[in-house]
């Protein structure tokens, strides 16, 4: 993924809905998963004697012991407020606090009892509780237990922001950027986002980094963007870890560092970031920045394929059909080729190989693809 593509995706921030954007957590609670050790090096399996022919323009080249792809094939990181499969609306459980009333509010929210959470938060908000105000903004913004009302959401976020709540600052910034609950106000949005980032809100730091890449709302500054991504990545945000990995891979705003890039990809992969899983699998397959481990790479490609990544499906098809790092399984391989094709990752060369497959095997691959797509 190249810098221009990241910048292009950054512009989507202006159009993303302000839903599924908060991790409702008590103050100063930021998850920081510990880094895991790299997988041990395994002896690479012998590749086929004949390498695959040069691929068509939009398909990956797969040679013995190599999975390569175009730099822009994997989607760029998305703004973290976007309700996408890579960033589910996750609620981090609140640890015990000294205030049992606050625990009741979060407990109801976590259990999906939104009406109860609304009633409890309303009572707490009257006492000046900033977290309860943020909760009310979240419930109004996402129509949880109550009719959606962006104006009221913005009002509660504003009150919580004035009281110093970083999550409310970020949420209000996203509403200002999208023009929900009031007119578009990018200047105020940037100020709120910067304040939230200073207070340690990782999503604010990540989105602010995208704005510095975009170069429209803010002057382009890739070094500042890298700093903010590092802050969000250190706080455990998978999207930031994946984006920063790309920075280290390409030397954008930071010195090139393949090993550090791979460590970040591994961390994001462990958090189920699909784009990172694909990139990490390719690094493991080729031994780029990490010991070569083709079986582990194939396992990651399988996982990402099941999660719907057409890029992973295309590469998994190649390794299964050619027996690269895994036993040859043409029926399964062509199944994934057909699945990837439905998502726009067609492959003329594999189409030709499929046409040469015995009729019975071709029928099995087509049936397997239909079954997977039907159960999707």
- Express each pLDDT in 114-159 by its tens digit: 999 999 999 999 999 999 999 999 999 999 999 999 999 999 999 9
pLDDT digits (tens, 9 = 90+) for 278-299: 999 999 999 999 999 999 999 9
pLDDT for residue 43 is more than 60: no
pLDDT over 70 percentage in the chain: 73
pLDDT for residue 65 is more than 50: no
Task: DSSP for 71-125, please give it.
Answer: TTSSPPPPPTTS--TTS----PPPPP-S-HHHHHHHHHHHTT-HHHHHHHHHHHH
Q: Is 79 domain-assigned?
A: no
Q: What is the mean pLDDT of residues 299-318?
A: 97
Q: Is 307 domain-assigned?
A: yes
Q: Is 91 domain-assigned?
A: no
By three-state DSSP, how is residue 281 classified?
Answer: helix
Query: Rounded to 10 degrees, what is the CA torsion of 296, 334, 345, 275?
Result: -20
pLDDT for position 3: 52
Q: Is 370 domain-assigned?
A: yes
Cβ burial of 175 (10 Å; 0-12, 13-18, 19+) is: buried
Q: What is the mean pLDDT of residues 242-262?
A: 97
Residues 6+ apart with CB under 8 A from 122: 132, 136
Q: 351 is in which domain, residue-wise?
A: 297-376
pTM of the model: 0.75
Q: Is 171 domain-assigned?
A: no
Q: Which has more pLDDT, 71 or 85?
A: 71
pLDDT for residue 24 is more than 60: no
Q: Is 55 domain-assigned?
A: no
- For residue 239 the two structure tokens come to 């999207």
Q: Is 320 domain-assigned?
A: yes
pLDDT for position 101: 53
Q: Cα–Cα distance between 287 and 296 in angstroms, integer?
A: 11
Which of 23-32, 125-134, 367-376 is predicted with the least confidence, judged by mean pLDDT?
23-32
Neighbour count for residue 376 (Cβ, 10 Å): 9
Q: How many domains does the chain have?
A: 1
Q: Is 118 domain-assigned?
A: no
pLDDT digits (tens, 9 = 90+) for 171-224: 999 999 999 999 999 999 999 999 999 999 999 999 999 999 999 999 999 999
HEC string for 305-332:
HHCCCHHHHHHHHHHHHHCCCCCCCHHH
């Amino acid at each position: 993924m190249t810098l221009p593509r990241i910048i292009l995706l950054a512009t989507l921030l202006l159009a993303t809905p302000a839903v599924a954007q908060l991790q409702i957590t008590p103050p100063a609670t930021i998850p920081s998963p510990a880094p895991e050790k790299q997988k041990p090096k395994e002896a690479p399996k012998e590749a086929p004697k004949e390498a695959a022919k040069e691929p068509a323009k939009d398909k990956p080249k797969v040679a013995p012991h190599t999975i390569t792809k175009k730099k822009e094939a994997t989607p760029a990181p998305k703004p973290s407020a976007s309700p996408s499969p890579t960033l589910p609306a996750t609620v981090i459980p609140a640890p015990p606090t000294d205030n049992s009333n606050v625990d009741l509010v979060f407990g109801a929210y976590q259990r999906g009892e939104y009406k109860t959470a609304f009633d409890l938060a309303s009572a707490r908000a009257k006492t000046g509780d900033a977290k309860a105000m943020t909760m009310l903004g979240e419930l109004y913004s996402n129509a949880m237990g109550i009719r959606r009302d962006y104006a009221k959401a913005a009002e509660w976020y504003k009150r919580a922001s004035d009281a110093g709540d970083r999550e409310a600052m970020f949420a209000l910034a996203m509403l200002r950027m999208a023009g929900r609950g009031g007119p578009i106000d990018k200047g105020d949005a940037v100020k709120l986002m910067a304040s939230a980032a200073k207070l340690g809100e990782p999503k604010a730091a990540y989105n602010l980094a995208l704005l510095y890449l975009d170069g429209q709302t803010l002057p382009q500054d890739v070094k500042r963007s890298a700093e903010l991504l590092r802050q969000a990545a250190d706080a455990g945000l998978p999207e930031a870890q994946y984006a920063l990995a790309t920075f280290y891979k390409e030397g954008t705003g930071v010195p090139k560092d393949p090993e550090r890039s791979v460590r970040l990809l591994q961390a994001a992969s462990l958090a189920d970031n699909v784009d990172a899983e694909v990139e990490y699998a390719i690094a493991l397959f080729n031994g780029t920045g990490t010991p070569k481990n083709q079986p582990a790479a194939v396992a990651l490609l399988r996982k990402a394929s099941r999660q719907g990544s057409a890029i992973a499906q295309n590469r998994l098809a190649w390794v299964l059909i050619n027996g690269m790092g895994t036993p040859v399984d043409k029926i399964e391989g062509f199944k994934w080729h057909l699945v990837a094709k439905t998502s726009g990752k067609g492959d003329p060369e594999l189409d030709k190989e499929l046409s040469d497959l015995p009729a019975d095997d071709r029928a099995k691959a087509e049936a397997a693809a239909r079954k997977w797509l039907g159960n999707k």
